[in-house]
Amino acid sequence: MQLKYSLKLCLLLCFMLCFLAACDLVPGISVGSTATAPSTSSTPDGSGTPQLNAWSKLATGVEIRYEHWKSQANNEDTVTIVRFDVRHIHLSVEYQPAEPLSMSEWKQKEPGAALIINGGYFDQGDNATGLVVSNGQASGTSYSGFGGMLSVDNQGHISLRSLIQHPYDPNEQLQQATQSSPMLVLAGKPTQFNANAASSRRSVVATDKQGHLLFIVSPEMAFSLGELQDLLVGSDLAIDTALNLDGGASTGLYVKMGKQDKTIDSFTNLPIVVVVRP
């Protein structure tokens, strides 16, 4: 009698395990801290889980790439890199200190944007600490003797420059501009600057040696500015010029093109953002 009962119990347990497995309710088996999990495919058009270290074309002149960066101090993060052919885009700087918005709110306000990223620094009153030019309207005072500037002139030419090498001239005919600091890379080489070694979220605008415009975001509190600089110079991105944007709580990114729809929300509201449209 006992043997018959045991056989029935075993059969019942086997049936229940098979049922749960078929319903995908049994978790992946783990050994130590490593668990097995279903893999997710990546596709060239940006859908699914992105493939690391490979450019995905989103549209003509627009590509996205994800890279896992690790510093010499073993700090690491997966960064998002968006690369534009400047011949195929329109860049604007939006500035509204009276009504700063989160990145999630900016993307609602700017329909049709391919990319939105936080701009330069601002004070506690949400006013830019440097010069801002938004749709031809200049606000604030230019940095002098430090920092850099992303700008668009009245001919539509996009420029990224050091304000030490090329100071701002009030007679310049700029339609768009945001200033920030420090310059991280000039002519492909690391710059000299004073900064603490604190790790933070990071946002960068850069140009490469082929003339592309790149926006790079590290969403975790992973890298100091020195570590970020080393990673930029040591990457295979052929960085020519790179400017640090306002990071930390201000770091935010929105990319919307094709099947790619990505938002890295800022932790604070942003009075200054850079908007790129195809």
Query: Are the beta carbons of 264 and 114 closer than 8 angstroms?
Result: no
| Model-wide pTM > 0.95 | no
Phi and psi based region of residue 226 (left: phi greater than 0; alpha: psi -120 to 50; beta: remaining): alpha
> Hey, what amino acid is at 227?
E
Of 86, 80, 90, 72, nearest in space to 176 by CA = 90
Q: Give the single-character DSSP code of 60.
A: T
- In angstroms, how far is the first alpha carbon of the chain from the final one? 78
How confident is the prediction along the chain (278 residues), in pLDDT tens digits per residue? 444 444 444 444 444 333 333 333 222 222 222 222 222 223 334 444 568 999 999 999 999 999 999 999 999 999 999 999 999 999 999 999 999 999 999 999 999 999 999 999 999 999 999 999 999 999 999 999 999 999 999 999 999 999 999 999 999 999 999 999 999 999 999 999 999 899 999 999 999 999 999 999 999 999 999 999 999 999 999 999 999 999 999 999 999 998 899 999 999 999 999 999 99
Read off the tokens for 27.
């978790």
The domain spans of the chain are 56-277
The CA–CA distances, whole Å, from 65 to 43, 54, 133, 151 equal 12, 6, 29, 24
